[in-house]
Amino acid sequence: MKVLKFGGTSVANAHNINLVKNIVVTANGNKTIVVVSAFGGVTDQLLQTAKLAASNDKSYRTILNEIEERHLTTIKELIPIHSQSKVLSIVKSELNSLETLLEGAYLIEETTPQLLDKIVSYGESLSSYIISEYFITDGLNAIHKDSRELIKTDESHGKAMVDFELTNSNCRDFFSNSSNEIIILGGFISSSKKGNPTTLGRGGSDYTAAIIAGAIDAEILEIWTDVSGMYTANPKIVKQAKPIPLISYEEAMELSHFGAKVLYPPSIQPVFSKGISINIKNTFDPQHPGTFITKNPSSKEESVRGISHVEHISLLSIEGPGMVGIYGISKRFFEVLSLAEISVVLITQASSEHSICVGVSILDADRAVKALNTSFEYEISQGKIKPIIVEEDLSIIALVGDNMKNHQGLSGKMFSTLGKNNVNIRAIAQGASERNISAVINTNDVKKALNALHEEFFEENIKQLNLFVMGVGNVGSKFLNQIKQQKKYLKDNLKLNLRVIGISNSRTMYFDENGISLNSWENLLPTGEKADKAKFFDTINTLNYRNSIFVDNTASHEVSETYNKYLKNSISVVTCNKIACSSEYKNYKNLKELARQYNAPFLFETNVGAGLPIIDTLKHLIASGDRILKIQAVLSGSLNFVFNNFNDETTFHDVVKQAQEEGYTEPDPKIDLSGIDVMRKILILARESGNQLDIDDIENQPFLPQESLDTKNNKDFFASLKKYEDDFQKMYSDAVKNDSKLKYVAQFENGKASVGLQQIPKGHDFYNLEGSDNIVLFYTERYPNQPMIIKGAGAGADVTASGIFADIIRIGNF
Ligand code: ADP
Ligand code: ASP
Ligand code: MG
């Protein structure tokens, strides 16, 4: 005999019930027992009608009408017209009785647990009856059985205790004597020995099926639901979760106890004791093998089998000097909770015995606190124990696996993963069986924590990086394009999964939690909401994704002022905007500190030399113990362009004009020509080499005449360049006379930085610098005479974008 249970979604409507029939027909047992839930959502609706009626709210009738409509429509869709009338009239009469019960609750403005059980029982009693009539009229050898006649319980309404002796013997008698091939029963519902309707707790249809399977020694228990098995994590929260092919009873029990709703926890016991396997399968994908829950499944699988979580947890702690070494405090503590019928989900006690901490359902928290404070009233009044401390809005996440005990370092990995993602851990528990490691965390961190842990333990180390990009102009659009091209490569080769979740320009911003399509972001962005820097941050912070990265491709001062907020919330920052790192030293230092403190990288490789690995190299030199003696560099692509093209056949004015027109300079070319941009760059290099420097400490010998520097607009600026052409020509001819070329050089040595135009003699590393190339010479203790040289294109949107990209990959490997 086989027992098949179909959940609420599987029987939600006529179409689904038809799928159920096909599955039952192909089950091929000599006898098939079919346990069904109420039509999906009906149990919730019934509870709601009761609640409304008891609070004297007439709108319960609207919901009741919906329930009626749903059942009648399903009958009409399933059962041929000529057989409908009997079924319709029986169901209508049942619904009338339900209405009478609700009217009673409405009049006396009250429901009792006993009445609630009566009301809620209609869900399964109606669904099982309708499905059985459908099977029968369709020609199957089927019969309906009221499970309340078989499953016997005590009188604890809402979640009754099963009397197994009586129930098992009822089941054996009934099923061995029944001659039908298919027997259909409602799950969840039962009755007390006195004959009152009772129920087995929410999700209890699984339990009904397991009880029957255990009683009759079924060959298998199949739980048919809306997902393809028990997953490595809740598939609604973790998109990458996968069905677990094989799992032990103990593991399944732990996972379901810690929130894997797909199986009601008590359901395992009745089949476990008989060694009957459970197969969890998907009604909507019947070919999928689903999950097998068995004894000793092969365990060469992962050490962690699944991750689950329970929400709505409160932590209660008892602590105080009076607890140390006093015998029996924990005994009393747990006795009080047990007498108050409070189930404890998690326990931790520090070995100092200074405190005991338990996790209970939020619904039990008030009662527990009252009971404990009353019981320890004397000790509290004596100051030996503090009043119970309560923390709310918490959840438990648990790693589960029989094999975890054989693997070292799992808890280390778990906690460091949570730590890296800035998930605050409030309490920890590890069972002595080492089948479960649990941590209590804030509920709003659950999604992030589950995904981060899942990635760590199940996803072949594929790490998801969630990008939020501000500034999608020249550099930004190139950057998005590069991601589009490299996405697959990164996933296959570096195990990095890059998703762009948010983008913004100065007008609009656009978010898509599933990742913005990089083929159509240009069309999507204008459809987004109005751009707002504060809201951009708030959205990222509320999404609370692991590995979130804010990418600043703007040159905006205001945007650079938001970095601290990102870092403080463990959101990494990658930027090509130089403003923050060349602002006041205090601010630069603070951002670096925040990055360290909150485990959120702050990377700005493109601040110097675009995509050239200058800052990264510097960091590696220092980290490996080298010391920077001197930095000499040509760091301005714009100035290089100007001096490489300026000679006695051109005019300085025309070359600068050309540089401006071709986009080699800022729109205001004075920013480049005055040396400000180069000052910022050498300042950043000096700081990154460990020196405390500010922009005012940098010596700048301008080559422009004061009059040009003082101009207020581009027109006057260019006019002044014309006026001083002779001076510029003299600078050029002086250099030629000395067999030299003009280069704008930045230098840092002995704590002092300077920038200025220099004559570079033939043979010098800078002499042959082409186009807009940059070059940096690092003289260090290890490279004292022959410097380490980094040279290459130091400007341009493409190389800058690739530098940003490189920073993102650094974070991925972090
Ligand atoms: P049914 O109505 O068939 O009994 P339930 O809603 O009770 O179905 O349980 C199935 C649901 O359990 C899934 O749709 C899924 O959202 C949820 N769930 C939570 N954790 C897990 C998990 N680890 N594996 C599979 N499903 C899970
Ligand atoms: N219908 C009941 C519930 O929704 C029992 C079940 O579906 O398992 O809780
Ligand atoms: Mg269920």
Report which ligand 1 atom has the smallest distance to the Cα of 225: 3
Give 198-230 pLDDT, tens digit per residue: 999 999 999 999 999 999 999 999 999 999 999
Higher pLDDT, 126 or 348: 126
The residue whose CA has the least distance to atom 8 of ligand 2 is 203
Residue 144 alpha carbon to ligand 2 centre in Å = 19
476 Cβ closer than 6 Å to some ligand 2 atom? no
pLDDT of residue 665: 79
pLDDT at 770 over 70: yes
Break the chain into its structural domains and give their ranges.
2-225, 306-458, 463-607, 614-792
Angle between helices 60-78 and 113-137 (to 10 degrees): 20
Element containing residue 791 per DSSP (H, E): strand 788-793
* CATH superfamily entry for domain 2-225: Acetylglutamate kinase-like (3.40.1160.10)
Tell me which residue has its CA closest to atom 7 in ligand 1.
262
CA of 163 to the centre of ligand 1 (A): 27
778 vs 629: CA distance, rounded Å: 8
Which residue CA neighbors atom 6 of ligand 2 most closely? 203
What average pLDDT is seen over the chain? 93
Determine the distance separating the centroid of ligand 2 and the alpha carbon of 616, expressed in angstroms: 58
Predicted confidence (pLDDT) per residue in 82-93, tens digit: 999 999 999 999
Q: Which of the four pLDDT bands, split at 50, 70 and 90, describes residue 327? A: confident
For ligand 1, atom 11, which residue shows the shortest CA distance?
262
* Distance from C-alpha of 115 to C-alpha of 233, rounded to nearest angstrom: 36
Q: Is the CB of 774 under 6 A from ligand 1?
A: no
* Mean pLDDT to the nearest integer, 292-309: 83
37 ligand 2 Cβ < 6 A: yes
Top-confidence residue, 668 or 734: 734
**In this structure, which residue's CA is closest to atom 4 in ligand 1?**
7
Mean pLDDT confidence for 534-559: 95
**Fold annotation for 463-607:** Rossmann fold (3.40.50)
Question: Which ligand places an atom closest to the C-alpha of 6?
Answer: 1
Kindly state if the Cβ of 180 falls inside 6 Å of ligand 1: no
**Strand-by-strand arrangement of the 529-530 sheet:** 529-530, 508-511, 496-504, 463-470, 548-552, 572-575, 602-603
- Cβ of 203 below 6 Å from ligand 1: yes
- Ligand 2 binding pocket includes 261 (Cβ within 6 Å): no
**Which two three-digit tokens encode residue 240?**
């990458």
Pick the atom of ligand 1 nearest to 232's CA.
23
Does residue 352 register a pLDDT over 80? no
By the 10 Å C-beta count (0-12 exposed, 13-18 middle, 19+ buried), 586 is classed as exposed
**Which three-class secondary structure state does DSSP give residue 15?**
helix
Q: What is the residue with the minimal CA distance to atom 9 of ligand 2?
A: 202
At 325, is the pLDDT very low, low, confident or very high (cuts 50, 70, 90)?
low
pLDDT value, residue 301: 56
Q: Residue 264 CA: which ligand 2 atom is closest?
A: 8
In sequence order, the β-bridge partners of residue 348 are: 357
Q: Minimal CA–CA distance to 574: which of 806, 813, 795, 797? A: 806
pLDDT in tens, 47-75: 999 999 999 999 999 999 999 999 999 99
Tokens for 496, please give them.
Answer: 């990095």
Model pLDDT for residues 158-212, shown as the tens digit of each residue: 999 999 999 999 999 999 999 999 999 999 999 999 999 999 999 999 999 999 9
Please report, as a single letter, which amino acid is at residue 37: S
* CA–CA gap between residue 111 and residue 755 (Å, rounded): 84
Q: How far apart are CA 117 and CA 200, in angstroms?
A: 10
One of 448, 578, 681, 741 is an active-site residue; which one?
Answer: 681
Q: Is 681 a catalytic residue?
A: yes
Tell how strand 277-282 and strand 306-319 pair up: unpaired
In angstroms, how far is CA 418 from the centroid of its own chain? 11
- Give 567-603 pLDDT, tens digit per residue: 999 999 999 999 999 999 999 999 999 999 998 999 9
Q: What are phi and psi of 497, to 5 degrees?
A: -110, 105
Contact 309, 277 (CB under 8 A): no
Confidence class for position 488, pLDDT limits 50, 70, 90: very high
Q: Which fold has domain 306-458?
A: VC0802-like (3.30.2130)
Confidence of residue 304 (pLDDT cuts 50, 70, 90): very high
Q: How far apart are the first and last CA of the chain?
A: 55
How far away, in angstroms, is 205 Cα from ligand 2 center? 6
Tokens representing 667 are 């729109």
**pLDDT band at residue 557, thresholds of 50, 70 and 90?**
very high
Pocket test for ligand 1, best of 43, 231, 240, 262 (most atoms within 8 A of CB): 262
Q: Does domain 614-792 have CATH number 3.30.360.10?
A: yes
Do strands 628-634 and 740-749 pair parallel, antiparallel, or not at all (unpaired)? antiparallel
Amino acid letter, 642: V
**Residue 129: strand, helix, or coil:** helix
Under the banding of pLDDT at 50, 70 and 90, the label for residue 330 is: confident
| pTM listed for this prediction | 0.77
Beta-carbon contacts of 760 under 8 Å, excluding residues fewer than 6 positions away, are: 740, 741, 742, 743, 745, 766, 767
Residue 40 clears pLDDT 80, i.e. is over it: yes
Three-state DSSP class for 736?
Answer: helix
Give the separation between CA 249 and CA 260, rounded to whole angstroms: 14
Ligand 2: centre distance to CA 443 (Å): 25
Which numbered ligand comes closest to the C-alpha of 291? Answer: 1
Residue indicated by tokens 């054989």: 406
Look at residue 45 in the predicted model and tell me its pLDDT: 98
Of the pLDDT bands very low, low, confident and very high (cuts 50, 70, 90), residue 399 is very high
Residue whose CA is closest, atom 26 of ligand 1? 262
Average pLDDT over residues 19-35: 92
- The response to whether residue 267 sits with its C-beta less than 6 Å from ligand 2 reads no
3-state helix, strand, coil in the chain (%, to 5): 45, 20, 35
What mean pLDDT comes out for the span 777-805?
92
Model confidence pLDDT, tens digit, residues 369-386: 999 999 999 889 988 889
7 lines ligand 1 (CB under 6 A): yes
Mean per-residue pLDDT, 660-688: 90
Report CA 508 to chain centroid distance, whole Å: 25
Judged by average pLDDT, the poorest of 30-34, 317-321, 362-366, 459-463 is: 459-463
pLDDT the model gives residue 468: 98
Of 124, 202, 226, which is best to mutate to test ligand 2, by the most ligand atoms within 8 angstroms of its C-beta? Answer: 202
CA distances from 358 to 7, 369, 386, 427, 494 (A): 33, 11, 15, 9, 42
User: The tokens of 338 are what?
Assistant: 């047990």
- The least confident of 124-133, 437-446, 766-775 is 766-775
Residue 566's pLDDT is: 97
| Structure tokens, 733 | 């001819």
- Return the number of other C-beta atoms located less than 10 Å from residue 733's C-beta: 12
Q: In this predicted model, which residue has the larger pLDDT, 555 or 524?
A: 524
Could you identify the atom of ligand 2 that is nearest to the CA of residue 44?
4
